[in-house]
A and B are shown apart, each in its own frame.
Chain A
Amino acid sequence: MEKIKSSSQLEHYRESIVHKRDVGKKVIRLCNTGCRGRGSSKVAEALENQVREANLDDKVTIKKTGCHGFCQIGSVMVIEPGNILYQKVKPKDVPEILSETIVKGEVLDRLLYRDPKSGEKIRREADIPFYQHQSKTVSHNTGKIDPTDIEDYLAPGGYGALDKALTTMKPMGIIETVEASGLRGRGGGGFPAGRKWRSCREAPGIIKYVIANGDEGDPGAFMDRSLMEGDPHSIIEGMIIGAYAIGAHEGFVYVRDEYPIAVEHLSKAIKQAESLGLLGEDILGTGFDFTIRIITGAGAFVCGESTALMNSLEGRVGEPRAKYVHTVESGLWDRPSTLNNVETWANVPLIINRGAQWYADTGTDTSKGTKIFSLVGKVRNTGLVEVPMGINLSEIIFDIGGGIKRDKKFKAVQTGGPSGGCIPMNKIDMPVDYDSLKQLGAIMGSGGMIVMDENNCMVDTAKYFINFLMYESCGKCVPCREGLKQMHEILSNICEGHGQEGDLELLQKLASFMVDASLCALGGTAPNPVLSTISYFRDEYEAHIFDKKCRAGVCRNLFDYYIDEKLCNGCTLCRVKCPEEAISGEKKKPHVIDEEKCIRCGICFSLCKKEAVLVK
């Protein structure tokens, strides 16, 4: 491949891509990243084989894309023209999709999404309520393009921002634009990106680095995964622009160990960009050099923290450093370094292309632009959603998310990852932005939004996060290492029925100590889940401590399973499968659980087709 050496060559190349595309051909866009968990690779294989066998190559293009967002209904496929969305596609559906929709242009009713509210089948992707309330901006390419083909990114204008930045803007001008846009970091802290870049540019030193944080350690969050897998070039383009602005020639993407597809797609994207001269030496003939290397993590949550990440990049153990020296002055190998989250980087080309004002027009006074959230847990429509900053939590959960699964009662939404907070029903009309969430005792974090219902215990939830953080604490500083251990012990006691009066006050006291004295934000924000649940769900803690009851049916020592004799049809399944032989009963007669023998393993509860096993 010949390298592109100027703006006009880039334009020519872009035109040639668009020109050679056959507009008469249908396109099938199949998610081949997130939906792999639902077997979409098999669907892709079937499609490719059968298209070849039936000689349909001139009729249809199969695009294996990134995540479409609506993971609940995967494997998701969209057919153009017509924007027809097929849900839950299986390999066995492929012959009919090809013979009916591709060849004859007929829509297969049975594969369409049915709106649970109206009961109507919806044909177009864009008309589905889940998508209607969103503003896909940063994620506009994911689900649309083939992330392994740079031509797909280039065709609609990709790398145009890079060209504009390198050929028409001065580094300081780029920094001023990013500052004026109001872009804040998407990885957790929400620090203004432009200000970080300026400090790094102004820091003394010849060698500087830019780094993309793709560690995505927050459990329940997968928006960074979707960007790295579904639109890797947007991150790369953002990083090159940032590097040029800051004066860096080397960059790194730090990717979580559990994301092999992200590594694969990023690697391909880097190679392709290099071969076209968009990355590497003398980018676009401007004389600017920049290279990117991918480094994978090895399974440590704390490595998402900026200084721990840099230690890990240096081949060390991922322990944080003290922050009296800023990483923008002395970061990786003690050189000025700019670390931003991958979603932050992916915003940059948009800002350069469309201007700071356009960007700042969306959002609230202090939180600009859009944000991708991963909406998971007990919500009906799980998936990735991109919304303007400032939207209400209830709009996300009820309008986009479709409310709670199986019509259970909403209890809380947890935002911000393990060190975020739980927000109760009476606060869900609050806008989602950095500052409002903080006021509520939660944080934006990286964008995880985990919905809980009446069957989730808030004490157990707090214990879950503290347990997580206790294992992930690197152990370097005492407040975090020991504080988490003590908190975990107190919470475990409460969950096991050994809670005592004064436990909550003790937890609060420990919390304030950890906030003040921890080395990094892991310990500093770790008490959030405990503090927020105590403040909003105190009654639940008290039921555990004083009444020894877990009404949600989660804490083993504090509830019993029983079988409702009216619902039980005596199928014997639970009796046969009970590992403790704690269930007795005759065929076709109601069964009974022996509470003494029951270990509350949940097998009978999960197996019963009549939902006759209940909690008391």
Chain B
Amino acid sequence: MGFEKVDEILENYAYKHDALIGILQDVQRLENYLPQETLQYIGRELEVPLSRVYYIATFYKSFSLEPRGRHIVKVCLGTACHLNGAVQNLEQVERVLSIREGETTEDRMFSLETVNCVGTCALAPVTMVGEDYYGAVTPGRVEKILSAYSTGSGSAEDGKD
């Protein structure tokens, strides 16, 4: 693919080096991950060493160097969620999707990530699928929540807190 869209992003930031994090965020929003060729291109265009681009892309947790699935499942592991059994939910998601944290299913339907806190601690333990929040999740409810997305029927309305 061409880099027209990436050029647009770089122009938005006036090719400033100090905007590198924002640039990568926009690229990830566009591509859903950070492709290698794009990172190389950005390095060249901004005239910053590729090592620095990668240093940033690998330091911050929200960047992904791998293509991600259509639905990003985020299991919150914040303190309130942890105390209410988030780890068992994570393991159940791993079992249901047959992937580990940080991985994507073969059909690119789901990626599984963990987050430190989504700031909705009253709903703990929380799991997000895309933009949808699920509160008071238990291992027993995980399968039902996820199946609504894999069958393409959208969010598990009834399962929502």
Contact = CB atoms under 8 A, between A and B. Distances in A.
A301 B116 contact: yes
A23 B83 CA distance: 47
Interface stretch (B2-10, B56-64, B104-112): B56-64
Contacts of A468: 77, 116
B59 A221 contact: no
B135 A38 contact: yes
A601 interface: yes
Given A258-B115, A315-B18, A220 B122 contact: no
A71 B139 contact: no
Contacts of A316: 56
A299 B62 contact: yes
Interface stretch (B36-44, B87-95, B146-154): B87-95
Interface stretch (A282-290, A377-385, A389-397, A507-515): A377-385
B62 A257 contact: yes
A26 to B, nearest CB: 27
A607 B77 CA distance: 21
A126 interface: no
B140 to A, nearest CB: 4
A597 B139 CA distance: 18
B110 to A, nearest CB: 18
Contacts of B79: 219-220, 376-377, 414, 418, 448, 450, 464-465
Interface in A523-542: none
Interface string A307-351: 000001111111000000000000000000000000000000000
A383 B92 CA distance: 28
Contact of A606 (B20, B59, B85): B85
Interface string A69-83: 001101000000000
Contact of A295 (B17, B22, B88): B22
Given A382-B121, A456-B83, A39 B140 contact: no
Nearest to B81: A219
A296 B59 contact: no
Contact of B20 (A72, A259, A315): A315
Nearest to A225: B119
Contacts of B118: 258
Interface string B31-61: 0000000000000000000000001100111
A131 B126 CA distance: 25
Interface residues of A, number: 58
Given A312-B21, A456-B83, A606-B85, A376 B119 contact: no
B25 A296 contact: yes
Nearest to B120: A37
A72 B120 CA distance: 10
B10 to A, nearest CB: 13
B30 interface: no
A298 B25 contact: yes
B119 A259 contact: yes
Nearest to B86: A464
B100 interface: no
Interface in A573-605: 577, 579, 601-603
B65 interface: no
Given A456-B83, A601-B88, A317 B59 contact: yes
A72 B122 contact: yes
Given A315-B17, A448-B79, A601-B88, A299 B60 contact: yes
Nearest to B88: A602
A219 to B, nearest CB: 3
A601 B91 contact: yes
Contacts of A147: none
B33 to A, nearest CB: 14
B15 to A, nearest CB: 12
A211 interface: no
B156 interface: no
Interface residues of B, number: 48
B90 to A, nearest CB: 11
B121 A374 contact: yes
Contacts of B62: 257, 298-299
Nearest to A316: B56
A603 B140 CA distance: 5
Given A220-B80, A376-B80, A74 B18 contact: no
Nearest to A450: B79
A601 B135 contact: no
Interface in A433-489: 448, 450, 452, 456, 461, 464-465, 468, 472, 474
Contacts of A39: 160-161
Contacts of B91: 601
B32 to A, nearest CB: 15
A450 B83 contact: yes
B117 interface: yes
Given A220-B79, A221-B117, A383 B18 contact: no
Nearest to B160: A39
A386 interface: no
Nearest to B119: A222
A106 B83 CA distance: 41
A38 B123 contact: yes
B97 interface: no
Nearest to B137: A606
Given A222-B120, A377-B83, A601-B91, A298 B139 contact: no
Nearest to A384: B122
A318 B59 contact: yes
A217 interface: yes
Contacts of B84: 377-378
A577 B92 CA distance: 11
Nearest to B128: A37
A576 B79 CA distance: 31
20 contacts: A34-B119, A34-B122, A36-B133, A38-B123, A38-B161, A217-B116, A222-B119, A222-B121, A296-B22, A296-B25, A298-B25, A298-B61, A299-B115, A464-B79, A577-B140, A579-B95, A603-B88, A606-B85, A606-B141, A607-B139
The 4 nearest A-B residue pairs measured at CB: A71-B122, A219-B78, A299-B61, A298-B60
Interface of A: 34, 36-39, 71-72, 74, 216-222, 225, 257-259, 295-301, 312-318, 374, 376-378, 382-383, 414, 418, 448, 450, 452, 456, 461, 464-465, 468, 472, 474, 577, 579, 601-603, 606-607
Given A472-B116, A577-B140, A601-B91, 11 more contacts: A219-B81, A297-B60, A300-B59, A315-B20, A315-B22, A317-B59, A376-B124, A377-B79, A465-B79, A602-B138, A606-B138
